[in-house]
Amino acid sequence: QLQLQESGPGLVKPSETLSLTCTVSGGSITNYYCSWIRQSAGKGLEWIGHIHTSGSMRYKPSLQSRVAMSVDTSNNRFSLKLSAVTAADTAIYYCARAREEIVVESAALGGDYYYYFYYMDVWGTGTTVTVSS
């Protein structure tokens, strides 16, 4: 049974970089999308972005300048880095497997358009990160 577990420092100082790891067990991460989501009292659930084991990634536009995701396939791990944190980044951080749906549309002049959609089907237990000096 696939399980995901987040880990990392529970306390980060303002302006520093938050670094978290998501370790996957019970299955291979080959051809696997990992999403990062956070939950705070102020903003509710917020999608941060996702990364594929190939290295392709997509970030929430408003966080893009501060976010970096990476993958370590040899150790079944994904990582999240969020730079220049403030108190607003205090939250429970989750990693989750993202399931992909592909829609193919035929173009009028030939060829196909591919559209990709992702939702989260298996979640980690979450880790609390507090930003405070």
In terms of CB distance, is 16 or 63 closer to another protein?
63
What is the nearest approach in angstroms of another protein to the Cβ of residue 8?
Answer: 16
Q: Where are the alpha helices (DSSP H) in the chain?
A: none
In terms of CB distance, is 12 or 33 closer to another protein?
33
- Contact footprint for another protein (CB under 8 A): 35, 44-47, 58, 60-62, 94, 96, 99, 101, 117-121, 123-126
In terms of CB distance, is 83 or 118 closer to another protein?
118
Look-up of token digits 């941060």: 48
Residues 6+ apart with CB under 8 A from 128: 10, 91, 92, 93
User: What letter would DSSP give residue 133?
Assistant: -
- What SS3 state is found at 26? coil
What is the nearest approach in angstroms of another protein to the Cβ of residue 43?
Answer: 9
